[in-house]
Chains A and B, each alone.
Chain A
Amino acid sequence: MNRLSSRHVLGIEHMTVRDVELVLDTADALKNILDRPIKKVPPLRGRSVVHLFFEPSTRTRLSFELAAKRLSADTVSVTAAASSVVKGESLLDTALNIEAMRPDIIVLRHPLSGAPHFLARHVNAPVINAGDGANEHPSQALLDLFTVRERFGRITGLRIAIIGDISHSRVAHSDIRAFDKMGAEVTVCGPGTMIPPYVDALGAKSVRSVEEALDGADVVMVLRIQKERQGGCLVPSVREYAHLYGITRDRLRLAGPDVVLMHPGPVNQGVELAPDVFNDSRSVILDQVTNGVAVRMALLSLLIISDTNREGDGT
Chain B
Amino acid sequence: MTDLLLRNGRIMDPANGLDGPGDILVRNGRIEAVGHGIPAPDGCLLVDVTGRWVTPGLVDLHVHLREPGEEYKETIASGTRAAAAGGFTAVAAMPNTLPPNDSAAVTRFILERARDAGNARVHPVAAITKGRAGKELSEFDDLLRAGAAAFSDDGSPVRDAGLMRIALEYARGLDALIISHAEEPALSEGGCVNEGRISTLLGLKGIPWAAEDIAVFRDVALAELTGARLHVAHVSTRGAVEIIRRAKGRGARVSAETAPHYFSLTEEAVLGFDTRAKMNPPLRTEEDRQAIIEGLTDGTLDVIATDHAPHSSLEKDVEFPLAANGIIGLETAFPLSLALVRAGRLDPADLVRLLSTTPAQILGIPGGALRPGDRADIAVFDPERPFEVTPENLFSASHNTPFLGTTLTGRAVLTLVGGRIVHNLLGTGGRTESP
Binding site for B on A (CB under 8 A): 13, 86, 88, 90-92, 110, 112-115, 117-118, 132-136, 170, 173, 196-199, 201-202
Is B321 interfacial (CB-CB < 8 Å)?
A: yes
A168 nearest CB neighbor, chain B only? B203
Could you say which residues of chain B place their CB within 8 Å of the CB of A196?
199-200
Within the complex, which residue of B196, B199, B206, B319 is in contact with A115, where a contact is CB–CB below 8 Å?
A: B319
Is B197 interfacial (CB-CB < 8 Å)?
A: yes
Q: Considering residues A92, A110, A114, A198, which has the most beta carbons from chain B within 10 angstroms of its beta carbon?
A: A114
Contact B321 A113, beta carbon cutoff 8 Å: yes
Within the complex, which residue of A13, A114, A201, A202 is in contact with B204, where a contact is CB–CB below 8 Å?
A: A114
Given contacts A112-B319, A198-B197, contact A134 B272 (CB under 8 A): no
Top 3 closest A-B pairs, CB basis? Answer: A135-B203, A114-B273, A134-B203
Contact B197 A92, beta carbon cutoff 8 Å: no
Give CA–CA (A175, B203) in the complex, Å.
13
Is B201 interfacial (CB-CB < 8 Å)?
A: yes
Contact B203 A173, beta carbon cutoff 8 Å: yes
Could you say which residues of chain B place their CB within 8 Å of the CB of A170?
203
B272 nearest CB neighbor, chain A only? A117
Given contacts A113-B273, A117-B272, contact A197 B321 (CB under 8 A): no
The distance from the CB of A173 to the nearest CB of chain B, in whole angstroms, is: 6
Give CA–CA (A221, B206) in the complex, Å.
26
The distance from the CB of A253 to the nearest CB of chain B, in whole angstroms, is: 32
Could you say which residues of chain A place their CB within 8 Å of the CB of B206?
197
Contacts A13-B201, A114-B321 supplied; 8 other A-B pairs, CB < 8 Å: A92-B318, A112-B320, A112-B321, A133-B203, A134-B203, A134-B204, A170-B203, A197-B199
Is B426 interfacial (CB-CB < 8 Å)?
A: no
Contact A91 B200, beta carbon cutoff 8 Å: no
Chain A to chain B contacts (Cβ below 8 Å), 7 pairs: A113-B203, A114-B321, A133-B203, A134-B205, A197-B197, A201-B200, A202-B200
Give CA–CA (A114, B321) in the complex, Å.
8
Given contacts A197-B195, A198-B196, contact A110 B201 (CB under 8 A): no
Could you say which residues of chain B place their CB within 8 Å of the CB of A134?
203-205
Contact A197 B204, beta carbon cutoff 8 Å: no
Is B322 interfacial (CB-CB < 8 Å)?
A: yes
A88 nearest CB neighbor, chain B only? B322
Given contacts A118-B273, A197-B195, contact A113 B200 (CB under 8 A): no
Contact B319 A110, beta carbon cutoff 8 Å: yes
The distance from the CB of A211 to the nearest CB of chain B, in whole angstroms, is: 25
Q: Considering residues B203, B205, B206, B273, which has the most beta carbons from chain A within 10 angstroms of its beta carbon?
A: B203
Within the complex, which residue of A90, A92, A133, A198 is in contact with B200, where a contact is CB–CB below 8 Å?
A: A198
Contact B202 A135, beta carbon cutoff 8 Å: yes
Is B317 interfacial (CB-CB < 8 Å)?
A: yes
The distance from the CB of A308 to the nearest CB of chain B, in whole angstroms, is: 27
Contact A201 B273, beta carbon cutoff 8 Å: no
Given contacts A90-B318, A197-B195, contact A114 B202 (CB under 8 A): yes
Contact A197 B200, beta carbon cutoff 8 Å: yes
A134 nearest CB neighbor, chain B only? B203
Could you say which residues of chain B place their CB within 8 Å of the CB of A118?
273, 318-320
A132 nearest CB neighbor, chain B only? B203
Given contacts A133-B203, A136-B203, contact A114 B319 (CB under 8 A): yes
A54 nearest CB neighbor, chain B only? B319
Could you say which residues of chain B place their CB within 8 Å of the CB of A197?
195-197, 199-200, 206
The distance from the CB of B316 to the nearest CB of chain A, in whole angstroms, is: 11
Could you say which residues of chain B place their CB within 8 Å of the CB of A86?
322
Given contacts A118-B273, A197-B195, A198-B196, contact A113 B201 (CB under 8 A): no
Could you say which residues of chain A place their CB within 8 Å of the CB of B203?
113, 132-136, 170, 173
A173 nearest CB neighbor, chain B only? B203
Contact B204 A113, beta carbon cutoff 8 Å: yes
Could you say which residues of chain B place their CB within 8 Å of the CB of A117?
272-273
Give CA–CA (A136, B205) in the complex, Å.
14
Give CA–CA (A196, B321) in the complex, Å.
18
Could you say which residues of chain A place their CB within 8 Å of the CB of B204?
113-114, 133-135
Could you say which residues of chain A place their CB within 8 Å of the CB of B205?
134
Which residues of chain B in 200-250 are interfacial with respect to chain A, using CB atoms and an 8 Å cutoff? 200-206
Contact A201 B201, beta carbon cutoff 8 Å: yes
The distance from the CB of B197 to the nearest CB of chain A, in whole angstroms, is: 4
The distance from the CB of B213 to the nearest CB of chain A, in whole angstroms, is: 16
Could you say which residues of chain B place their CB within 8 Å of the CB of A114?
202, 204, 273, 319-321
Give CA–CA (A196, B204) in the complex, Å.
10
The distance from the CB of A111 to the nearest CB of chain B, in whole angstroms, is: 9
Which residues of chain B in 293-318 are interfacial with respect to chain A, using CB atoms and an 8 Å cutoff? 317-318
Could you say which residues of chain B place their CB within 8 Å of the CB of A199?
200
Given contacts A92-B318, A114-B321, contact A202 B202 (CB under 8 A): no
Give CA–CA (A180, B192) in the complex, Å.
27
Contact B318 A91, beta carbon cutoff 8 Å: yes
B193 nearest CB neighbor, chain A only? A113
B200 nearest CB neighbor, chain A only? A196
The distance from the CB of A90 to the nearest CB of chain B, in whole angstroms, is: 7
A199 nearest CB neighbor, chain B only? B200
The distance from the CB of B244 to the nearest CB of chain A, in whole angstroms, is: 25
The distance from the CB of B186 to the nearest CB of chain A, in whole angstroms, is: 13
The distance from the CB of A109 to the nearest CB of chain B, in whole angstroms, is: 13
The distance from the CB of A62 to the nearest CB of chain B, in whole angstroms, is: 24
Q: Considering residues B205, B273, B319, B321, which has the most beta carbons from chain A within 10 angstroms of its beta carbon?
A: B319
Could you say which residues of chain A place their CB within 8 Å of the CB of B317?
92
The distance from the CB of A137 to the nearest CB of chain B, in whole angstroms, is: 10
The distance from the CB of A175 to the nearest CB of chain B, in whole angstroms, is: 13
Give CA–CA (A134, B192) in the complex, Å.
13
Give CA–CA (A114, B317) in the complex, Å.
12
Give CA–CA (A170, B201) in the complex, Å.
11
Contact B199 A91, beta carbon cutoff 8 Å: no
Could you say which residues of chain A place their CB within 8 Å of the CB of B202?
113-114, 135
The distance from the CB of A47 to the nearest CB of chain B, in whole angstroms, is: 27
Which residues of chain B in 128-166 are interfacial with respect to chain A, using CB atoms and an 8 Å cutoff? none
Could you say which residues of chain B place their CB within 8 Å of the CB of A91?
318-319
The distance from the CB of B415 to the nearest CB of chain A, in whole angstroms, is: 37
Give CA–CA (A196, B201) in the complex, Å.
10
A167 nearest CB neighbor, chain B only? B200
B270 nearest CB neighbor, chain A only? A114
Give CA–CA (A118, B196) in the complex, Å.
22
Give CA–CA (A134, B201) in the complex, Å.
10
Could you say which residues of chain B place their CB within 8 Å of the CB of A132?
203
The distance from the CB of A13 to the nearest CB of chain B, in whole angstroms, is: 8
Within the complex, which residue of A88, A133, A202 is in contact with B201, where a contact is CB–CB below 8 Å?
A: A202
Give CA–CA (A78, B197) in the complex, Å.
34
